[in-house]
Amino acid sequence: MCGRNGRGSWTVGSRRQLHYDTGFEYIYAGNDVTDYPSLTSAVAPLSADDAVVAAGFIGGAPFLALAGGDIMLGDSAESRRIKAHPQAAILIAACEGERIVTGGDDGRVIETRYDGSCVTLGDESGKWIDALALRDGATAWSTGRSMRARSAKGETKNLDLPSTSRGLAFFPKGYRLAAAHYNGATLWFPNAGAPETLQWKGAHLEATISPDGRFLVTSMQENTLHGWRLADGKHMRMAGYPGKTRSFSWSSDGKWLATSGADACIIWPFAGKEGPMGETPRECGVRAEIPVTRVAFHPSAPVVAIGYDDGMVLLSRISDGSELLVRRPSEGGKNARIGALAWDAKGARLAFGADDGAAGVLTLPKG
C-alpha cells in the first residue's frame, strides 16, 4: 500500500474497496500476493524468448526490444520480428510516436518504424551506445565521453563531456539536453552557445527533467538522488535508498516523481516551488526485500505501474494506496526482473517484459 510517513504508519492487511472511474476496482491488500485483487485475466502473454530491454506501443500495436538485437512487433498471434541489430545486442531503447530507437553493442543507433523499415541514425564504429533520449523527432545518444544530438531534420551536433554519460534527457521545451556524468551534469543547447555545467561530487547515472522544465534530477552511484532547481541552481538531495535508482517516471500533472531503487516505489512531491525539500515521499507497493526495478505513471490518472525483481507487476493509485495485481511473481525466480514497463498513449494498455523473456500486455477493463 501507499504511505507518507514511513511504513510504521500503515495498517498491513486492512482492506477498503474503492471505485475507479475506468470501471474497475482497487482494493487495499496485505503483504501476501494472494491478497491482491487481480487483473491477471486481462493480460495477454507475449512470447519473447529473449531478455526484454524495452516495451511500448507503435502503430497501435505493442512492441518489445530484445537483447538479441530484434524488435518484436504485434501480439503473439500476429507478431513479426525485425532484425534491427543483426548479430549484435540491443543495449538500450526508447520509443516516441511511431518510431522505436535502439542503441547496440555494434555502435549503431537504429530507428525502426511500424512498417519494419530501419534507418541508421548514427554509427559509432563498434563503441557501445550508453544512453538515448528522444523528443519531437530529435534523437540524442552518448558513447563514452561523446554526446550526439540529431535534430528532426537530420543535422547532428557533437559535444565532449567530462566523463561517460549513462543518462540523457531532453527538456520539455526548446532544443536542449541534460547529460548526467561524474561530478554533476551538463546542460546543452546543440544549436547555440557553450554548455552549462552543474556541479555535485559523485557519479551521476540516470537523468530526468520535470515536465515543467523547473527541475533536473539524477540518480547516483551512492544510492541517492540529486536534484537542481534550474532557475537558481539550488541543490536537492533525496537519500535513503538501499539500491540504485534506474527507473524514473513523472505523473501526468508533473507533481510527482516515481522512482525505483527500494523495496517500494518511492514517489517524491514536486508541486511546490521547493520541489521535494521539506516534504516526505510516498511509498507504494511495498514488498519487503523485493526491489522495485521499473516504474511507469499512467498518462492521465494518478496510478503508477510497478515492476519488481521477481517478475511481479502491480498497479497502485497514489491518492489512497489501493492496489491491483497485474502479474504474479515468476515461479522460476531466476532472471525474472521486470526490465520494461510502458503504457500506451491513451492509458488503456500496459506492456511489460522481463529478463527471462516473459512478457505481456494488460488491457484495462472498460467501465
Q: What percent of the chain has pLDDT over 70?
A: 90
pLDDT at position 19 over 50: no
pLDDT surpasses 50 at 25: no
The rounded distance, in Å, linking the Cα atoms of 364 and 348 is 6
Per-residue confidence (pLDDT) for residue 128, from 0 to 100: 98
Helix (H, G, I), strand (E, B) or coil at 224: coil
Q: Identify the architecture of domain 130-239 in CATH.
A: 7 Propeller (2.130)
- 3-class secondary structure for 111-137? EEECCCCEEEEEECCCCCCCEEEEECC
For 34-40, what is the mean pLDDT?
A: 81
Q: What topology is assigned to 1-37+251-367 in CATH?
A: Methylamine Dehydrogenase; Chain H (2.130.10)
Task: Write the class of the CATH domain 55-128.
Answer: mainly beta
Its pTM stands at 0.90
- Two domains, one topology: 55-128 and 130-239: no
- Give me the numbers of helices (H) and strands (E) for the chain, helices first please: 0, 32
DSSP category for residue 166: -
Average pLDDT over residues 338-345: 97
Confidence check: pLDDT of 98 > 90: yes
Domain locations along the chain: 1-37+251-367, 55-128, 130-239
Return contacts of 139-143, CB within 8 angstroms, 24+ apart: 139/101, 139/109, 139/111, 140/168, 140/170, 140/177, 141/103, 141/109, 141/168, 142/166, 142/168, 142/179, 143/107
Torsion of CA 12, 363, 24, 305, to 10 degrees: 30
Q: Are 285 and 316 in contact (CB under 8 A)?
A: yes
Could you report the per-residue pLDDT of 103-136, keeping only the tens digit for each? Answer: 999 999 999 999 999 999 999 999 999 999 999 9
Q: Is the dihedral of CA 77, 82, 85, 91 positive or negative?
A: negative
